[in-house]
Amino acid sequence: MKRKYFGTNGIRGVVGNHMNPIFISKMSSAIASYMLDKGTMVIGADSRLSSPLLKSVIIASFLASGTEVIDVGTVPTPLLQFAVPFLKADMGIMVTASHNPPEFNGVKVIDSDGIEIDTPKQLKIEQTYEEENFSYVGWSENKEITKIDVSSEYIDRMIGLVDLDKIRRRKLSAVVDGGNGVGSLVTPILLRQLGVKVISLNCQLDGSFPGRGVEPVPERLSLMKKITTETGADFSIAHDGDADRAIFGDDKGKIHYGDKSIALFEKWVLQQNENKRFVTPISSSSVMTDIIEEVGGKIFWTPVGCIYVSRKMIEKNCILGGEENGGLFYGPHQSVRDGMMAAALMAEILANSEKRLSNLLLEFPNYYQRKDKISCPEDLKEEVMEYIKNNVEEADEIITIDGVKLFFSDGWVLIRPSGTESIFRIFVEAKTSKRAEILMNKSLELVRKAIAKYKI
């Protein structure tokens, strides 16, 4: 069954359109009715202008269902995810639209273990919503709203997981670009407590995100780059709107997309630990597999999406997970993406190395990547995918957990239908530019042929 309201990361939309008080109230009642038999819910919100609106409606709907509500305030998503098991609550709601533009907002529904709920639960909530099968309590059963600030416990937890003395001795400095989002509330404080000198940029909360926009894409981080080189900082870090992701820049100002920084975390964490189990989505770079071979670890692939990575980490007892968009999952802290934890770990890596970050990142090979997409009507996606799976060329290994991924000795191809748009996405990576071009052309030809076969 296909989901109607939930997307890759919760329910999102433009506020005022379908994200209006009536929809939010009904959906919150559906979530409360399906997820809880009374119990306790923890709520947090990002810095968007519409977040107080959504939050009030959600709280009212949960109170109507007889739920006790704990409000942890304006916080990053990973802090809310920490708070749910920490406060022994039954579930959590994070009001956020992550990296989407300012007019968007949404909710992430968090299970009692701090991880977003899985697809079967999302489908049950949607069914409850459609059937309007809501359970409300009488006036005498309405519970309280308690305000609790768990930010110091959250920061202490992360500090306890790194070598504080060593980091302090190294006297590092970092530029933190909060992007006017909620990461600004934690990362500068965390790094300062670790003895890192922080130069903050765009760290004033502003729901219109006037600084550099909500999404930390490298082309928007030119000011962070400039300030890093001018101040001689050891590294820079930029968060997305709810700070579950972190994009790093090196001491020379160069911004690295997630695959390089995740590779660095992977190498460092797996080398230091007995547990060398690592989880990553099927779209990740070969750099991840190179490191697994180097350290003698084991890699587990998941479909694209952070919930799959989190759940696989628990299932296979993995210490680390990583996504190329800058999502780092550090098991000893929590099996969810956490941009603040990534900041603390980066400080620890640099404190332990003689080298600067630019040199550390040079150690990883450069692969040639290509990305492309082809339109495909939504109702043909399944048949087209099936045809592609049956007609791909011979490869060393073929994985079909999310689209089809072909591994060759000198590169790989991933063809997958988009979960949100009527397109097929094609990703290619190879050791040479020429090989990447050949793989891409062959894949485009195959997808076009498959679509032509079914299109009337």
Residue nearest to Mg ion (CB): 98
| Residue (68 or 240) nearer to Mg ion, CB | 240
**For residue 313, what are its two tokens?**
């980490």
Instruction: Please give the DSSP secondary-structure letter assigned to residue 223.
Output: H
Indicate the residue among 65 and 187 with the shorter CB distance to Mg ion. Answer: 187
**Cβ contacts of 77 within 8 Å, gap of 6 or more:** 44, 46, 94, 96, 98, 108, 242, 243, 244, 337
For the CA atoms of the chain, what is the radius of gyration?
A: 22
Report, in Å, the least distance between residue 244 CB and Mg ion: 4
| Unique residue bearing structure tokens 């959590």 | 92
Pick the closer one to Mg ion by CB: 102 or 297.
102
CB of 181 to Mg ion, least distance (A): 9
Q: Toward Mg ion, which CB reaches closer, 291 or 307?
A: 307
Contact by Cβ (8 Å): 82, 115 = no
In the complex, least distance from residue 301 CB atom to Mg ion, rounded to whole angstroms? 22
A 10 A CB-CB count for 96 gives 33
What is the residue whose two structure tokens read 């519970």? 143
Q: Is the four-CA dihedral 288, 252, 336, 347 of positive or negative sign?
A: positive
CB of 166 to Mg ion, least distance (A): 30
So which residues are the catalytic ones?
Answer: 98
Q: Smaller CB distance to Mg ion: residue 177 or 244?
A: 244
DSSP labels, 350-393 = HHH-SS-HHHHHHTSPPPEEEEEEEE--GGGHHHHHHHHHHHPP
Please check whether residue 78 is in contact with residue 96, taking contact to mean a CB–CB distance below 8 angstroms.
no
Three-class SS state of 101? coil
Closer to Mg ion by Cβ: residue 46 or 402: 46
How many other β-carbons are positioned within 10 Å of the β-carbon of residue 434? 10
Closest approach of Mg ion to the CB of residue 45, in Å: 14
Please say which residue, 248 or 367, places its beta carbon nearer to Mg ion.
248
Q: What is the DSSP string of 7-27?
A: BTTBEEEEBTTTBSHHHHHHH
Break the chain down into helix, strand, coil percent, rounded to 5. 40, 25, 35
Of 98 and 335, CB closest to Mg ion: 98
Give the β-pairing of 104-110 and 91-95.
antiparallel
Could you tell me if 451 and 380 are in contact, meaning their C-beta atoms sit under 8 angstroms apart? yes
Kindly give the pairing relationship between strand 173-177 and strand 298-302. Answer: unpaired
Q: How far is the CB of 240 from Mg ion (least distance, A)?
A: 4
User: What is the smallest separation between the CB atom of 436 and Mg ion, expressed in angstroms?
Assistant: 29
Kindly tell me which of 330 and 424 has the beta carbon lying closer to Mg ion.
330
Cβ atoms of 378 and 424 within 8 Å: the answer is no
Can you state the angle between helices 339-352 and 77-86, rounded to 10 degrees? 100
Strand order in the sheet with 11-14: 11-14, 104-110, 91-95, 40-45, 68-74, 145-147
Chain contacts with Mg ion (rule: CB under 5 A): 98, 240, 242, 244
Q: How far is the CB of 245 from Mg ion (least distance, A)?
A: 5
DSSP string, 255-301: EE-HHHHHHHHHHHHHHH-S--EEEEETT--HHHHHHHHHHT-EEEE
CB of 283 to Mg ion, least distance (A): 17
